[in-house]
Amino acid sequence: MIKTDMTDFNRTMKNAIDYSRGFANGVQQNEQYFNQQLAELIKEAFYKYVDSTARLDPDRLHHMYEWEQTGVDKARLFRIEAFTGQQSIRFVTEFMQSTSVSPTANEPFVNKADVMESGTMVTVTPRGEGPLVFEGDDGDMVFTNEEVTITNPGGNVAGQFAAVAREFFTNYLDQALLRDLVLQLQTPVEFSQGWGKGMSYATGQRQAKRYLTIKGGIA
């Protein structure tokens, strides 16, 4: 009868099973870690997308920036926040108050972004004894002691920020950013890189975290 020493084989099989379990459990345990990275990546891409759109079409998004700084990152009047869970990512946008002064005004239009994006009518009342002074639609200066109602402050910009956000999340995000990321995740090279002598449950978990670490950033 031929006897075969299976000790090394059994040890290797146990290590392989432990390693595989560690990798699988590591992927599950690091889902929120992955989502947090993905959320930051999407936020960065969103800011760049909106800034780029604003520079290309300033009449569409000028109300989302301080006066005469459309498309400038430090002049944004909006921000986006991400809330991540084990299996979810939720984004919320918020408008910020303006601190700059229009060339035709003498004080900030504080809620510029919110008012113009919502298309809320604005009524301006003269202060003190002086008249209101503003530039009319024809470019001439207007002087009046009466209240003035502006039906579409900022021009035809109501809902444009929301439209650009929809463009980003329904088109650009899926077709550009996430497509490349999905291709990376379809080939878990980190699993094979950790395979070999010394593999264990712990190394499997470490390789899983490496697998779920997003490489690079936004081009």
Q: Tally the C-alpha atoms within 13 A of residue 104's C-alpha that lie toward its C-beta.
A: 12
Residue 152 lies in a domain: no
Query: Could you tell me the residue range of the domain that residue 63 belongs to?
Result: 9-76+158-211
Residue 118 lies in a domain: no
C-alpha span between 21 and 191 (Å, rounded)? 11
| Residues 6+ positions from 3 with CB-CB distance below 8 Å | none
pTM: 0.75
Q: pLDDT of 166-175, one tens digit each?
A: 999 988 887 7
Over the range 85-105, which residues count as b (16 or more CB within 10 Å of their CB) and which as e? Answer: eeeeeeeeeebbebebebeee
C-alpha span between 196 and 207 (Å, rounded)? 12
Residue 194 lies in a domain: yes
Instruction: Tell me what pLDDT residue 114 has.
Output: 94
Q: pLDDT of 63-100, one tens digit each?
A: 999 999 999 999 999 999 999 887 788 999 999 999 99
Residue 117 lies in a domain: no
Residue 163 lies in a domain: yes
Q: pLDDT of 49-59, one tens digit each?
A: 999 999 999 99
Residue 44 lies in a domain: yes
Q: How many domains does the chain have?
A: 1
| Residue 119, Ramachandran bin (φ over 0: left; ψ between -120 and 50: alpha; else beta) | left
Where is pLDDT greater, at 192 or 158? 158
For residues 92-120, give the mean pLDDT. 91
Residue 180 lies in a domain: yes
> Residue 163 — pLDDT band, cuts 50, 70, 90?
very high
For residues 106-122, give the mean pLDDT. 90
Q: pLDDT of 120-149, one tens digit each?
A: 887 777 776 767 666 666 667 777 777 777
DSSP string for residues in 131-189: PEEEE-TTS-EEEESS-EEESSTTSS-TTHHHHHHHHIIIIIIIIIIHHHHHHHHTS-H
Residue 218 lies in a domain: no
